[in-house]
Amino acid sequence: MPDDIKYTIGLFLLYFLPVLVAYSRKHRSAMAIGFLNVFLGWTLLGWLIAMVWSLTGNVEEKAPARR
């Protein structure tokens, strides 16, 4: 695979890192984080806000274990 394609894929994944983190953590506002990232992620401030928001503790509760 040529290097320019690897860099393009890497930058694409880095750009959408806040969304990937939010969905993997089952964040309750993952869709809103995605919209923020898509529309304002190109600015450094928008990307940082989306990243910090995806790392906050607003995640779905795990179901209690049944006995």
Amino acid 33: pLDDT: 96
- Residue 28 amino acid letter: R
Pairwise CA distance, residues 17 & 41, whole Å: 10
Closest to 14 in 3D by CA, of 35, 45, 49, 41: 41
Amino acid 35: pLDDT: 97
pTM recorded for the entire structure: 0.82
Cβ–Cβ < 8 Å for 35, 18: no
Pairwise CA distance, residues 1 & 5, whole Å: 7
pLDDT bucket at 51, cuts 50 / 70 / 90: very high
- What is the residue extent of each domain of the chain? 3-54
Reduce the DSSP state of residue 58 to 3 states and report it.
coil
pLDDT in tens, 11-45: 999 999 999 999 999 999 999 999 999 999 999 99
